Amino acid sequence: MNSKLGMQIIGTAKQRIKEHQSSNHPILKLLVPALYVLWNTMVTTNRIFVDRNFRSIFLMRLLNAKNVHQTTSLTYLDRYPTIFSACSDYFDGKQDLKILSYGCSTGEEVLTLRRYFPNAQIIGADINKQSLDICRKLPVDEKINFIYSSLNEIRKQGPFDVIFCMAVLQRKPHDTEAKGITSLKKIYPFEKFELQIIEFDELINPQGLLVVHFTQYSIWDTQIASKYEALGDHNQDDYLSPVFDKNSDLIIDPPTQNTIFIKSRK
């Protein structure tokens, strides 16, 4: 069966299910939702077997739901040139920096960081094991390591002079926008974001940097905000998805979000 014919059959089946969803017939009322669940289960099971990327995200969410932030692994080289340059300028050639790339995906961010910080020790951490497998095959120098992201593992490597957390502290932002979602409470609550920021705070040296970009929440809403000040006016003007407040509610016309934060000496 060619794929066009397959799509036509699926389309017709979906149309029929929709037509019967409003039916008052008691058997149809039970049967239609049951068929729908069965269909979704079959589609998901099939994708688990044939799509490696889908399988790794599915397993990650199944086995580690509490700790997973963004599920997609989109990344590319030199994605944040202005931000990385500003951080490099801030340290003004200081050597022996220790850097964490939290949510390093398939390693492009770590490779890019090496260009901006030629002598730093760089740790890439990710929760997606398939992405980590790809990272571990990269031709990197001995001062770059990739680790599975758990608080314990990261603690063993810290403290850090900079933590980069780019496009991690969010959940499916494009979906959120497309579906007009006004509360993230059930999808990605503020408390989860805040807990992660508190964990980062414990791992950053005084005068170190916390760099959080492409996120649905603001550092200024968290309990540790008073320990930080913004570095320059680097912000998330390029983040075009909705942002939310500390109640996980949508902010209409949000203020500009900062990106680079300096930890005070306190």
Q: Which residues of this chain interact with ligand SAM, rule CB under 6 A?
A: 67-70, 72-75, 79, 102-103, 105, 109, 125-128, 131, 149, 166-168
* Minimum distance from residue 150 beta carbon to ligand SAM (Å): 8
* Minimum distance from residue 157 beta carbon to ligand SAM (Å): 13
Q: Which CB atom, from 229 or from 237, has the smaller least distance to ligand SAM?
A: 237
Sheet containing strand 121-126, edge to edge, reads 144-148, 121-126, 98-102, 160-166, 204-213, 260-263, 228-230
Return the half-sphere exposure (C-beta side, CA atoms, 13 A cut-off) of residue 56.
16
Cβ contacts of 218 within 8 Å, gap of 6 or more:
243, 245, 257
* Minimum distance from residue 62 beta carbon to ligand SAM (Å): 14
* Minimum distance from residue 188 beta carbon to ligand SAM (Å): 11
Q: Which CB atom, from 37 or from 74, has the smaller least distance to ligand SAM?
A: 74
173: its two tokens:
């932002």
d(CA 251, CA 265): 32
Q: Which CB atom, from 32 or from 128, has the smaller least distance to ligand SAM?
A: 128
- Closest by CA to 245, choosing from 202, 186, 191, is 191
* Minimum distance from residue 24 beta carbon to ligand SAM (Å): 45
Q: Which CB atom, from 32 or from 98, has the smaller least distance to ligand SAM?
A: 98
Q: Which CB atom, from 196 or from 248, has the smaller least distance to ligand SAM?
A: 196
DSSP for 64-97, written as a single string: HTTT---------TTS-HHHHHHHHHHHTT--S-
d(CA 194, CA 172): 18
